[in-house]
Amino acid sequence: MTDDLARLTAPTEFLDHDSAPVQEFIDVAVADRGADKRELAVSLYYAVRDDVFYEVYGADLSRDGFRASSVATRKQGFCLHKSVLYAACCRAVGIPARLHYGKVRNHLASDRLRAHIGGDVFFHGLTAVHLDGRWVKATPVFNGLLCKLYGLKPLEFDGVHDSLHHPFDEDGRKSMEFLVDHGGFDDLPYEFVMDQMRTNHPDFLDPEGTGTVRGGSLAAEATR
């Protein structure tokens, strides 16, 4: 592994994989940390996807709230939180990982969520992991239960192919599409992320500006 890649396995302010909560999360997710890297990446993907519930309401957007240790403790958050936890877990087992951001259009968002977001275009986060000599994108975001409620097939990951988004739902309707790619980052760029949230989704932030609006539930708003 080159020095540049080795650097991308180190803990950071937000990818704090040397913390007890992240280490405990990994212990539950994988049986053998010495297993093949691709096998570890896949196991961790499904642990983050399904054991951390995807919820956009009442999310903690403070610096502490975005740390992997906080996400592993709460076991709840949306794409920005879950991508951080996945990247931290991968780094902890020796897999270089980065965070990746962009904007997506979500055609299946509920009316209430669209009202808060200001439309159907969302600032979005995912993870890039380095496996078998190349970078692969992974999105361990929408857990199986939520996908079932919204009529989506859960997004799978094999450690070989990019796992990006749900282009269509189970009925063939367009679901999500990428509009803007902001590129990759070695750690969560907090001021950039919060600027994107304030600029693109001001009505989605709580009065303090360090969390999202409360009093909602994506599961309750499911259209199916």
- Alpha carbon 150 to chain centroid, angstroms: 18
Least confident of 32-46, 64-78, 156-170, 173-187: 156-170
Beta carbons within 10 angstroms of residue 9's beta carbon: 18
In three-state secondary structure terms, 73 is helix
Return the percentage of the chain with pLDDT > 70, whole number.
92
Q: What pLDDT score does 187 carry?
A: 98
Which tokens go with 21? 């909560």
Q: What pLDDT score does 205 carry?
A: 95
Outline where 30-149 has alpha helix (H): 37-51, 63-66, 68-74, 79-92, 111-117, 144-149
Report the topology of domain 3-204. Answer: C8orf32 fold (3.10.620)
Q: What pLDDT score does 172 carry?
A: 52
Where in the chain are the domains? Answer: 3-204
Report the amino acid identity of residue 121.
Answer: V
Q: Which residues are paired to 122 by β-bridges?
A: 104
**pLDDT value at 110 more than 80:** no
Which residues have C-beta within 8 Å of that of residue 175, sequence separation ≥ 6? 106, 107, 108, 152, 165, 166, 167, 168, 169
